[in-house]
Amino acid sequence: MNNPFSPKLKTLPKMTSGRIALWQAMTVLGYKKQYHEITVKELCKTAYIARSTFYLTYKNIDELLMDMEDYYLRQLIPIYDVYVKTNYLNRQDHFCSDTIRYIQENRKVFYLFLVQQPNMRFIQKWKILIKYCLWENLKKDDTSGALAPQEELPFEMISGEIVTAHGILLKYTQEETVEDLKKVLNEGLCFFGKMYTLINTGQNAQ
């Protein structure tokens, strides 16, 4: 059956020096002011590029933000793919550790979108990507009907927990905190699997 959760992340064209400079400038300015307060003029000044270069790539700043969101979330897909192709109960640590490593490598962007200036569109896209991954793992051999309302609850709970946990990890980088939150995420994933199985078993028994 079709996966009811569609990430809808745009595939970006080849990265250019201009695009990279604009993204870096957006990250810098995003730490100083609200997204809607950033102008194309100051963005280009910070990026050391001409305004004409900006408009060759983007129509407006929001389109630039959407590109950034999709790009950084797309990089999570290979990590999640490994999780999808194996028994998730045996791959929880991989799911958590590799995701944490990737986010730390791109800390400035994720901190901006999750902590400094929470980007709800980015957060929602990430939650959908997590749901998509979990569905692929749990439902890949299932030929039953579409997602029932009661089935959606565990997906919503665990996706929200995962995104929130990573936001906390970005604020508190002590090794003890990281390990404690990894344990919470591992337990959450285990609980999700049990909860989903229980709901699905009860539904099929009706």
Q: Report the distance separating Cα 65 and Cα 43, nearest Å.
A: 12
- With contact defined as beta carbons under 8 Å apart, do 84 and 3 qualify? no
**Position with higher pLDDT, 69 vs 131:** 69
Asked if the model's pLDDT at residue 162 lies above 80, the reply is yes
Question: What does the pLDDT look like over 52-88, one tens digit per residue?
Answer: 999 999 999 999 999 999 999 999 988 887 766 665 5
The pLDDT, as a whole number, for residue 196 is: 65
The pLDDT, as a whole number, for residue 36 is: 93
- With contact defined as beta carbons under 8 Å apart, do 201 and 149 qualify? no
Name residues whose C-beta falls within 8 Å of residue 129's C-beta, 6 or more positions apart in sequence: 7, 9, 73, 76, 77, 80
The answer for 8, left when phi > 0, alpha when psi is -120 to 50, beta otherwise, is left
The pLDDT, as a whole number, for residue 88 is: 53
What is each CA distance from 51 to 21, 40, 59, 61, 177, in whole angstroms?
12, 7, 11, 12, 44
Asked if the model's pLDDT at residue 145 lies above 60, the reply is no
Q: Average the pLDDT over each of 55-59, 159-163, 198-202 and give the range with the smallest value.
A: 198-202
Q: Report the distance separating Cα 154 and Cα 148, nearest Å.
A: 11
Asked if the model's pLDDT at residue 101 lies above 90, the reply is no
Q: Where are the domains of the chain?
A: 17-68, 75-205
The pLDDT, as a whole number, for residue 161 is: 86
Question: What does the pLDDT look like over 85-100, one tens digit per residue?
Answer: 665 555 556 667 888 8
Span 151-165, mean pLDDT?
A: 85
Name residues whose C-beta falls within 8 Å of residue 157's C-beta, 6 or more positions apart in sequence: 192, 195
Among 154, 134, 22, CA closest to 88: 134
The pLDDT, as a whole number, for residue 67 is: 94
CA 173 to chain centre: 19
87, two tokens: 């028994």
The pLDDT > 90 percentage for the chain reads: 42
Question: What does the pLDDT look like over 21-53, one tens digit per residue?
Answer: 999 999 999 999 999 999 999 999 999 999 999
Asked if the model's pLDDT at residue 142 lies above 70, the reply is no
Mean model confidence pLDDT for the chain: 83
| Amino acid in position 114 | L
Domain 17-68, CATH number (from 3.40.30.10, 1.10.10.60, 1.10.287.470, 1.10.10.10): 1.10.10.60
